[in-house]
């Protein structure tokens, strides 16, 4: 069963009192969250994470670089520039295997999987 209530009775006061961000600021925050979640990402990867258009986020990424939120990095084997969040750290090398559901969010962006894992993911029926 679902239970519904008014925001005033469910959300903390600081959430209710927070100003609504502009679309510009909200999109920048989505890009920051995308960069943190993905570790290393291209413009297309950053945009796709929250289903934004790459052309729309390019100027925002430039702003985030200028503000120091994102850094540009080069990834061996990638044709495109890549970006990391300012708090990103180089991970330890890990050798592991995992079984993924065909509907896992990790496999949504197939070109990213091919770049990261050299993994050509397809569902065959």
- Give per-residue pLDDT as tens, 47-66: 999 999 999 999 999 999 99
What is the domain count for the chain? 1
Condensed to tens digits (0 to 9), the pLDDT of residues 72-90 reads 999 999 999 999 999 998 8
Residue 13 lies in a domain: no
The answer as to whether 68 is a domain residue is yes
Give 97's pLDDT tier (boundaries 50, 70, 90).
confident
Beta bridge partners of 83: 41, 72
Helix (H) or strand (E) holding 82: strand 82-85
| pTM of the full structure | 0.81
| Domain range for 98 | 20-117
Please answer whether residues 31 and 61 qualify as being in contact, where contact means their C-beta atoms are separated by less than 8 angstroms.
yes
Mean pLDDT score, 105-115: 84
């Amino acid at each position: 069963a679902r239970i519904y209530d008014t925001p005033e009775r469910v959300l903390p006061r600081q959430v209710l009192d927070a100003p609504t961000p502009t679309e510009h600021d909200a999109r920048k925050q989505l890009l920051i969250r995308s960069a943190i979640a993905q570790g290393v990402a291209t413009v297309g990867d950053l945009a796709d994470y929250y289903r934004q258009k790459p052309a729309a986020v390019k100027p925002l990424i430039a702003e985030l670089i200028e503000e120091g939120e994102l850094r540009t990095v080069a990834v061996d084997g990638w044709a495109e520039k890549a970006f990391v969040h300012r708090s990103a750290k180089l991970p330890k090398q890990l050798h592991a295997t995992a079984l993924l559901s065909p509907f896992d969010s990790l496999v949504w962006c197939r070109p990213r999987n091919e770049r990261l894992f050299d993994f050509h993911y397809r569902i065959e029926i």
